[in-house]
Structure 1
């Protein structure tokens, strides 16, 4: 009698192991694992261009002069609790502040897509092309990226 109980126990244990670990059913040929999605904490909080929640930088200050006179002034600054934006295009007589300026700068940021690895000359070329400027007398740009790196361009012609 002990043999039958032992044999029954072994069979029951074997069935549980095979049933619990097996991959039987209509999706038996598919993998049973999924890749984990890991998002760095700084991307959750402030965002980055890779996640679509931000631009990859928290400060953007652009000044372009043509023939020694201001042509483009753009400022974008993100502090812990608010976004400040100002935009002035004297070539087209446009002066914007706050949300209107942010919306205008958003078009620029999405179109030119600057990262910390973009070369200085590419940054200059992209911005000048965006605004349709061929020649300038002064180009001054400061960008503070989310990871702490900075881009500072000062060119005079």
Structure 2
């Protein structure tokens, strides 16, 4: 009887250990399975760098003309269809969607979230970023997440 009890106890211990360590998921052994992603509520509505809200603004519209010709045109808007467009005739770029977003991301990270900068500093930083020395038209509109706007219009 004692040997039978030991065998039963050993069997139950083995079952508990194996069931606690097991993974019965379909993808448990698949090396290409996707890990779970944590998504916060505001990410669904544009609250990260990938969807725009992380920059501190939801609209960025810039147009720079040199000698009366459109040279730089940036349109970025966080909306249901999150869109971006970037045209830089000096660099020969005409990008849309994700390609435009990838090119604009460093600019947005560096300058756009600093709404405490003066209009003069913002204009100088943007001109330096794009490598433009002079302009005949500089139009910038930024709609910040808190409802404030920055509008710079300068025509020479």
TM-score (norm 1): 0.65
Cα drift, residue 120 of structure 1 = 0.5
- Aligned equivalent of 2:75: 75
**How far is 1:112 from its partner?**
2.2
Equivalent position SS for 2:117:
coil
Q: CA deviation at 1:46?
A: 3.7
1:121, distance to aligned residue in structure 2 (A): 0.5
CA contact (8 A) 1:78 1:84 kept: yes
Give the structure 1 partner of residue 134 of structure 2. 135
Contact 1:64 1:136 (C-alpha < 8 Å) held by counterparts: yes
Contact 1:67/1:136, CA 8 A, preserved across alignment? yes
* Deviation at residue 45 of structure 1 after TM alignment: 5.0
Q: In 2 relative to 1, CA 142–96 (structure 1 residues): closer, same or farther, beyond 3 Å? A: same
> For 1:140 and 1:77, how far apart are their aligned partners in 2?
16
How far has the Cα of 1:153 moved from its partner?
Answer: 0.5
Q: Which has the larger radius of gyration?
A: 1
- The Cα RMSD (Å) is 2.2
Q: Is the 8 A contact 1:85 1:97 kept in 2?
A: yes
C-alpha separation in 2, matches of 1:42 and 1:128: 33
The answer on whether the counterparts of 2:75 and 2:86 sit within 8 Å (CA) in structure 1 is yes
- Does the 8 Å contact 1:116/1:149 carry over to 2? no
List alignment gaps of at least 5 residues for structure 1. 1-40
* Matches of 2:113 and 2:69, distance apart in 1: 26
Q: SS where residue 55 of structure 2 aligns?
A: coil
Structure 2 counterpart of 1:15: none
Residue correspondences, number: 114
